[in-house]
Every structure is written in C-alpha cells, then in structure tokens.
Amino acid sequence: MSAVTAEEAGRQVEEVLDRLAATEDAEACAAAEELVRVLMEFYGAALGRAVELLQRPADQSPGSPLEGLLGDELVASLLNLHGLHPEDLPARIARALDGIPHPVEQAGFDAASGVLRLRVTASTGCGCPSTQESVRQAAVDALACFAPEVTGVDMEGAAASREPALLQIGSGPPRAVSGGRSSATAS
C-alpha cells in the first residue's frame, strides 16, 4: 500500500465528487457527498478516540497503550475495516465475548458461513426466549466491532443443569370479607 498524503487524498475526493456532479444525477451526487461525510465522521471519531486513549495516564490505562486501542470498539472497528487489527480471529472473538454482560462460551465457529454458536454458561434470568435473544444480540453487537467475519450468531439450548425458572408465589389465600366473597372478588 503506497503512502497517500492528505493533500492528494483530498484532491482525489474532490475529483470524484466533481465527476459525479457533472453527471447531472443530483441524487447520486448527494448520496456520494453523504457517504464521504459519514466516513469522515467515523474516521474522525475513531482517531479522536485513539488520541484520547493514548493520552491517558499509565495508571488509568488497561495494560499497554496498544491494549487500550485494541479493546476499544470504535478503534477496533477501524483497524478491522482496513485489515490492520493485529489479533487473529479467535482472539478478537474472545475479546468481544469478554466484553458482553452475559457469561457465554463458544460452542463452535463455521468459517465458511461465518456463524458462531454460543452457549450461555450461567443463569441469565428466567430462561425465556427473550432473555436468550438479548444475550444473542449483545454478542452480535460486540462481534460487529471486534470480529466482523462473524456474520451470524446462533444460541445453543440452555444446559440441562440450568437453574429452574423463578416461580412467583403469593403471600397466602385470599381473605374472606363479609357476605362470603373473597377480597379478590369484592368490589
């Protein structure tokens, strides 16, 4: 990859936008300008975050300066986008899963399809499908930043030794009121 100066890159972007404007397709030109704006915001945010992380005092940083950069979702996304993230895929998957608030373990990864199978390793509430979906979505969100090669996440069924669901028990039978009606049916 050859080094590109900021001046040269700016000139190339302007040339492309000028060519689009010359096509008289206002919609395509507006879309291209919006694309450039969104990318500039993304790059600016990631670079700003990198500078912020590198300026932290050593006693406030998690490990080495590189560790701080690799552990940041925004910076990791930019590194992955350009194939510059120094960690291999298994390390990035582990980093992503370590960052979610649910205890999960990998049950397998199919590189051909990009699907990662996960298993919940501890109780995550009632065991309801909505709880499983929230765990899956947390993993999907984290993996998008750290391991974009993972294109899908499947949750394996809960282990047989899972804790039973919480059962709600009332405080006792309904109290009787005058007239033989219970308090639950009294108006």
Query: Which residues have CB under 8 Å from 134's CB, separation 6+?
Result: 102
How many residues are present in the chain? 187
Using CA atoms, how far residue 45 sits from 42, 68, 95, 142, 146, in Å, is 5, 16, 21, 18, 17
Confidence band for 16, pLDDT divided at 50, 70 and 90: confident
DSSP label of 60? G
pLDDT band at 66 (very low <50, low <70, confident <90, very high): confident
Instruction: List pLDDT tens digits, range 70-100.
Output: 999 999 999 999 999 999 999 999 999 998 9
Nearest to 51 by CA among 28, 29, 78: 78
* Under 8 Å between Cβ of 91 and 109: no
Q: Does 14 have pLDDT greater than 70?
A: yes
Alpha carbon distance 160, 162 (integer Å): 5
> Which pTM value belongs to this model?
0.69
